[in-house]
Each structure stands twice: as C-alpha cells, then as structure tokens.
Amino acid sequence: MNLSKNVKITRVMNAVAAGQAANNGDILDMSGFDGVVFVCALGTVTDASVVTMKAQQDALNGAGAMTDLVGATVSLTASTDSNQCLLLDLYRPEKRYVRCVVTTATQNAGIDGVIAIQYSGRYQPVTQSASIDASTLSVSPSE
C-alpha cells in the first residue's frame, strides 16, 4: 500500500557543475527487483545543450565492462529546459548490474543529481539505501 515500503530509492549521482561531459551513476544491484526508474534533475541548461541519459548493464559489479542498452536512452536539446527532469524506466534488464550515464554536450548543462527507484521487488518491506538519511510514513495524520 505504501510506496516507500515497496520501492528502493537510491541517490546514484550527486550534483555536477555545468559543463560538457559524460557522468557515470553508481552501479545498482538489480537482484530481487524487476525494474528501475532513473530520475535526472537538471539545473541550469544553456540553450542548444544536448543532454542524454542512457542505461548500461553488466553481469559483474564493475565499471570496466558496462554495455549500453539498445533503446534505453532519453535525450533533449535544450531551449527552455532548465530545472526540468529526464526519466528513464528500465524493466527487466538481462544482467544483474545496471547504471545510468548522463552526458551533456554542445553547450553547458548542470545536473542536480540522479535518483534511482527500484521497483517490483520480490521482498517487502524494502530496506532503503544508505543514501536515504531519514524517512517517515504518515498514515491518516490528523490536522
């Protein structure tokens, strides 16, 4: 019934200053989950900047052999896209470990961070990641 007990939320990328570069998110272990949604919060985006978020996977927990997933990409060419979000939903990846990569090109774009929400877990309640410092659940709170 409660989202926070049925999904695992992890901050996989911290803020990145405006620039033009490829930025790798932390690697997630998908064991026990069917899918993950990556939410990339953008900061100031210069007009004509191209921002792309893609997903990669590997059978091992190591950055050396991560492979791009066909069709697992979302991008925008900025005109008035400051302070917006990109969303990439990856369902049933074929390998156990995944990550997102956010690339900024052509013009500068800032990244406020990326949050990963793993869902359809086989075990509930889900224990939140160490990147969640505090949380609370309020059920029918009074005024």
Q: Is 22 left (phi over 0), alpha (psi -120 to 50) or beta?
A: beta
For domain 11-120, give the CATH number: 2.60.120.260
Average pLDDT, integer, range 32-46: 95
Q: What percent of the chain has pLDDT over 70?
A: 99
Whether residue 1 is predicted with pLDDT greater than 70 in this model: the reply is no
Going by the DSSP 8-state scheme, the letter that residue 83 receives in this structure is T
Report the chain's mean pLDDT, rounded to a whole number. 92
List pLDDT tens digits, range 63-100: 789 999 999 999 988 777 788 999 999 999 999 999 99
Give strand ranges (E) for the chain. Answer: 8-13, 16-19, 22-24, 28-29, 33-45, 50-58, 67-77, 85-91, 97-105, 109-121
pLDDT at 2 over 90: no
